[in-house]
Amino acid sequence: MKSVNLTGLLPLALLPFLLSVAQVAANDDAFTPANPPEMKPIASHHTPAYRAAKEFLRGVNLGDYLEVPPQYFGRGVRVSAADIAQIKHEGFDHVRVPIGWQHYADPAPDYTLSPEIFGRVDFIVTNALADGLAVMINIHHFDELDSDPAAATGEFLAIWKQIAAHYEHFSEKLAFELDNEPHDNATTALMNPVYAQTIAEIRQTNPERTIFVEPGGWGVIGELKNLVLPPDKNVIVSVHCYEPFYFTHQGATWTRGLTPVTGIVFPGPPAQPLVPDPKLDLKPAMLDWIHKYNTLPAAQNPSSPRAFTAKLKYIRAWSDYYGRPVHLGEFGAYTKADEQSRANFYSTFRQAAEQENIGWCIWDWIAGFRYWDNQNNRPMPGMHEALFGKSNSNP
């Protein structure tokens, strides 16, 4: 279970951050159906997707492991069979496994995936299933698809065809998530037909498999309104939410300089006003946020549940209207936040998601946003109680 956090090591330009700044300021409109008649609601909520969603209620991302480029594999996070058993023991019911299949594909036209990556994924999948966990495997950080979706769609389909064939006979508790956080040129509108085509391809070999899809704009909730899915009855939608972003990503090195201020607590306001170092030369949006954080009472403070409760309600309303279960595939806070604030945040967010009947999956197990303290073989302080509401049986 030894790991070194690779999150800060990889200058991968991977993350939802530019957009998240927009999210910080975004209004939280109440749900009104925006794209009928393109996507027809599914009237019944007794579909295979709703049944499958019950297996994906409390999850953890095996982040910074199988998605990293091969030259970094094993240099940071390593997930063992003991980790997976511990995940089950803690009370999680599923794992989300980010995977960089594209790093292991031969060139066109076949894009043949190497046995090496199948071996690594099989190890996680078979151990997790054997321990009674549901598993979601995805394609993570497929940068070529984000920059030139038309050019990369052939490879995307070829990869999914091979994954689908390989896992055809696996338990129904294994699900496929088509693409992590499409963004930039991979807009929701552009991904809609790509998803429809990929789902049709997967259905050739896996007629019953649960498939998760994320909207564009880095999988943000605000993009649900642009999603148009085929009438398949076993598709679950997955979204990500890292609000309040200045709290969750404080001190992160991979946000292109957007979140340099540390010492932000959750919930605000702080006991003593936070005075950022003038040398940081902060942008007006962040200065304004800090001013509100320092001065507004708890109910209006930007570092509070106010940052996400309306978004979670929107998810629930969208989901109920369209008859598609929605899953929260990533939320979390970096370990630069103080331990008590992290525990407060995970607890509050988790409960708000459960109140809206939304299954959740934290970022992450033993990387930069870790749940598990693998140096001391126990959960990070307060994390077990935050997620499972009772004290931990493990010392």
As a whole number of angstroms, the distance between CA 145 and CA 164 comes to 19
User: Which residue, 39 or 343, is less far from ligand BGC as judged by CB?
Assistant: 343
Q: How far is the CB of 370 from ligand BGC (least distance, A)?
A: 11
Q: Which of residues 305-334 bind ligand BGC (CB under 6 A)?
A: 330
3-state percent breakdown (helix, strand, coil) of the chain, nearest 5: 40, 10, 50
Binding mask 47-66 for ligand BGC (x = CB under 6 A): ----------------x---
Q: Which of residues 62-121 bind ligand BGC (CB under 6 A)?
A: 63
Beta-strand (E) ranges in 209-367? 211-213, 235-240, 326-331, 359-362
Among the listed ranges 7-15, 124-132, 347-355, 385-393, the one in contact with ligand BGC (CB under 6 A) is 7-15
Verify binding: residue 182, ligand BGC, rule CB under 6 A.
no
**Which residue has its beta carbon closest to ligand BGC?**
7
User: Which residue, 68 or 164, is less far from ligand BGC as judged by CB?
Assistant: 68
Q: How far is the CB of 117 from ligand BGC (least distance, A)?
A: 17
Number of residues written out for the chain: 395
User: Which residue, 13 or 82, is less far from ligand BGC as judged by CB?
Assistant: 13
In the list 15, 77, 105, 211, the residue contacting ligand BGC (rule: CB under 6 A) is: 15
Verify binding: residue 217, ligand BGC, rule CB under 6 A.
no
Q: How far is the CB of 30 from ligand BGC (least distance, A)?
A: 27
Q: How far is the CB of 256 from ligand BGC (least distance, A)?
A: 12
Q: Which of residues 358-387 bind ligand BGC (CB under 6 A)?
A: 363, 368
Q: What is the dihedral of CA 79, 170, 235, 154, to 10 degrees?
A: 80
Q: How far is the CB of 61 from ligand BGC (least distance, A)?
A: 8
User: Which residue, 14 or 290, is less far from ligand BGC as judged by CB?
Assistant: 14
Provide φ and ψ at 133, rounded to 5°: -90, 145
| Secondary structure class of 332 (helix, strand, coil) | coil
Size of the site for ligand BGC (CB under 6 A): 8
Beta-strand (E) ranges in the chain? 58-61, 94-97, 134-138, 174-177, 211-213, 235-240, 326-331, 359-362, 372-373, 378-379
Taking the CA atoms of the chain, what radius of gyration do you get in angstroms? 20
**Binding stretches for ligand BGC (CB under 6 A):** 7, 14-15, 63, 181, 330, 363, 368
